[in-house]
Amino acid sequence: MPTRADALSLVKEWNKDEGHVKHMLSVEAAMRAYARTFGEDEELWGLVGLLHDFDYERFPELSDHTVKGGDVLAGLGYPDVLVRAIRSHNDATGVPRASRMEHALYACDEITGFVTACALVRPSKSVMDLEPSSVKKKLKQVGFARSVDRDAVLKGPEPLGIPFDEHCAFVIDAMRGIAAELGL
């Protein structure tokens, strides 16, 4: 299987928007933290998080996103379980989420973007002092980060059996671990 360095190189080659790269790093951090919590393969889960949107700048149409990129990943030697997990986070593919890893990816995707938005409007512009209560308050503000799918943010952790508040705190904590890399 290709290494994390290989995956990061691919992400940076395919993405010129630093915000997209930071989003994928955020999801990677959350996925690695969940893998440790669940006793799963941290490298595999981390690569799924890191690569989940690597093709978005080239294939922004939902009918193509993760489908064409998944073909690229398969051609580069990434395992089928990784490709399937990545495809499952895009509902347009019709690939149902079945594994814990697939549910974790879906749960971590939208919330990391929302947590980033919440951090950036704080005076500190940091996740270091961000609390789940602030995230919940911002979720109620329809005009704030309006492109974020609030249903996915709120219901994403349900299949994992994790309450939203706990999931939110967990993701914030995972992002704190790479806050300097994220500029947060």
Backbone angles phi, psi at 62, to 5 degrees: -60, -30
Q: Identify the pLDDT of residue 181.
A: 96
| Domains, the chain | 4-182 (1.10.3210)
Q: Identify the pLDDT of residue 1.
A: 81
Distance CA 82, CA 142 (A): 34
Q: Which residue stretches of the chain have pLDDT < 70?
A: none
Nearest alpha-carbon partner for 24 in 50, 62, 44: 50
Coil, helix or strand at residue 51: helix
Place of tokens 């489908």: 67
109 and 50 in contact (C-beta within 8 Å)?
A: no
Backbone angles phi, psi at 87, to 5 degrees: -65, -35
Nearest alpha-carbon partner for 118 in 77, 152, 169, 80: 169
Q: Identify the pLDDT of residue 89.
A: 94
DSSP codes joined into one string, 107-169: HHHHHHHHHHHHHHTSTT-SSTT--HHHHHHHHT-TTTTTTS-HHHHHHTTGGGT--HHHHHH
